[in-house]
Amino acid sequence: MNAKELLKKYSKPENYINRDLSWVEFNKRVLEEALNPELPLLEKVKFISIFCSNLDEFYMIRISGLKEQIAANVDEPSIDGLTPIEQLKKIEKTLKPLLKTLDNYWMDYIVPSLNENNVKLLSLDDITDDDKANLTEYFKKEIYPVLTPLAFDPGRPFPYISNLSLSLAILIRKPNGENHFARVKVPSILSRLLQIDNIIEPKKSIGSNGNFTATYMWLGDIIKANLPLLFPGMEIVEAHRFRITRDTDIELQEDEADDLLSVIEENIKQRRFGSVVRLEVGHPVPDFMLNTLIDNLQITKDDVHVSDGPLGLSDVMGLFKLPLHQLKEKPFYPVIPKVFEEEDDYFSIIRQKDILLHHPYHSFSPIIDFIKKAALDPDVLAIKQTLYRVGPDSPIVRCLIEAAEMGKQVAVLVELKARFDEQNNIYWARALEKVGVHVVYGLVGLKTHAKMTLVVRKEYDGVKRYVHLATGNYNATTAKLYTDLGFFTSDDDICSDVSDIFNFLTGYSKQKEYKKLFVSPVNMREKFIELINREIDNANAGKEAKIIMKLNSLVDPAIICALYEASNSGVEIKLIIRGVCSLVPGVTGLSENIEVRSIVGRYLEHSRLFYFYNNGAEEVYLSSADMMQRNLDRRVEVAFPIENPRLKDELIKTLIKVSLKDNVKARILQSDGSYVFPEIKETSKKVNSQEWLMNHALKAMGVRTQKPFEK
């Protein structure tokens, strides 16, 4: 069946889980990690920060989109049958108990536990009058000069409040008895958690028993205690904290843009002024003050979240950096595969055999070294690369700059439309242009999300091409935190395909056929449906048939329908979907042969892998693409085959099989959209796939491992 026929056959709303409700379930799994009693304390703090940071972005992008639809009176249901307003109500209802759980957990468990470990989070009630006086002196010198009190009265309009900023809403009473509203922003340039050891207890950073200690107070509490200094001669009647979230989704009119870089720069500025989509306030807050905020921010009471705990807990990630190693997971240091330690000539290595890297278990340094060697090698003629999220201090870009300065032909596609990385990418695009690199900003209507590097080298037998393809970004920092796969090859067909894709990106091309790669928006969806149909044909012929996919998200209706058709034909389907999954598993007559699991653990699962049994002639593809409409229709993406039997076998025996055995960090998706931990029998061995892979990487290097990597 083709995509259109499949969509028609499985069009019922009950066949799909709402993508945003599925995302809330994913973030719930992140919160569950924070609640995990077996996790060290600072790891719990890290997951709390990630949960809150995820939620901020969700409101800035997804919730803002739903509210725009509601404002435009859009009532057309999504594929799962929910209208925008129904989706919003269900999301808020699902989130409310999670936020309550978070508040209680922070106050009742995290703060006392930190205190037990000599990390004290104090309030003003916890310190002496002398300490308060010391804090006031510190406030005058270090904090007061940064603050700007803003009044609100007939002569001064309601102040602009920036996205994700924490503020104090203050009721001021003048000597004549008049009441006025004022706002003071808690400056983001200062740390939200202010370390006060040397303020309230001079020169005491080591406890009496020799252990490290750290004492903190919330910056907002210190500002609140010293408000009379900001409003001299006025009575501070009351002050309450609040935080807003704005719509930050940039809408580009690319077809009307003469200069994409200038348009995106302007849109980044406009992002600051997006409409307010969420108001968080601390409990209790009086009605008159809440109504003042609601009226002037132009929101409704439905947009208000009342919290019993601190606002903006995404900021607590700073605590994770404390040198308290006993409160963290045992550190893991990525290994460099032996092949790169035994031989220094990367081009000779890759010419002889394909190489697979699995980050963060393998170090990212071979990719940096590959590009650096290409930059310095006099026989290298050209380097071409795509850059999506490169990070603020990119060794990759510095290598490309060095290559251009050495006179090599360097062409780079810098994707300016990478959300929340636009400013960073603009900076690097300009730096590259200054040294003569051919910089392309992307294609109209498409984001370039494919991760590709092409090196062209003059050798004894003619010009030879070398390629690196990956599932993740060329970002040395995230490569330590995300699980991704990278692939070096000199395969002529793959190198030819990559050359053709770069010609498509930098020039003009309508090429529809590639030798080995699947390319979106050209043919990726169709190619994967063809492979699914082949498994269906094998199942119908009485042969064994199996599909395994590992993704971040599965949302594309056509791919979901193709998997339903395969399930109904008897194909065994295992899906490892970290985040959003709109497919409904385990339904008789629809998906009884489909199991969906999500792994949320120490590292962010980010690699995308596609396995097809193919009547015993197994095929494995890796890709930068998730199965979403945006990836398949509105992005330039690449899926590439792993044909080397040794590498294919390694992927199947390690990543695939171990991920499917995970019973520690995996959760199983139920047909109602909820997730449960797999049952572990008393005789079963506990398997944490990420720990197993750390252990495996160390053993391959001959390193003797110790707990917790050994189970």
Enumerate the active-site residues.
Answer: 449
Residue type, 259: D
Q: Which of 468, 475, 450, 453 is nearest to 360 (CA)?
A: 475
Longest distance between any two alpha carbons in the chain, whole Å: 92
Report the alpha-carbon distance of residue 553 to residue 611 in Å, rounded.
16
Contacts of 659 (CB under 8 A, 6+ apart): 550, 576, 597, 599, 666, 689
Number of other residues whose CB lies within 10 A of the CB of residue 254: 15
Contacts of 347 (CB under 8 A, 6+ apart): 373, 377, 455, 457, 459, 464, 466
To the nearest 10°, report the CA torsion of 535, 536, 539, 545: 30
- Yes or no: say if 440 and 626 are a contact pair by the CB < 8 Å rule: no
Report the alpha-carbon distance of residue 549 to residue 577 in Å, rounded.
8
Residue type, 44: K
Distance spanning both ends of the chain, measured CA to CA: 45
- Yes or no: say if 9 and 563 are a contact pair by the CB < 8 Å rule: no
Q: Which two tokens stand for residue 103?
A: 């508040």
Contacts of 670 (CB under 8 A, 6+ apart): 585, 586, 676
- Yes or no: say if 494 and 640 are a contact pair by the CB < 8 Å rule: yes
Report the alpha-carbon distance of residue 282 to residue 308 in Å, rounded.
6
- Beta strands 193-195 and 214-218 are antiparallel
- Yes or no: say if 332 and 694 are a contact pair by the CB < 8 Å rule: yes
Report the alpha-carbon distance of residue 642 to residue 433 in Å, rounded.
35
Report the alpha-carbon distance of residue 396 to residue 405 in Å, rounded.
14
Residue 669: strand pairing partners:
675
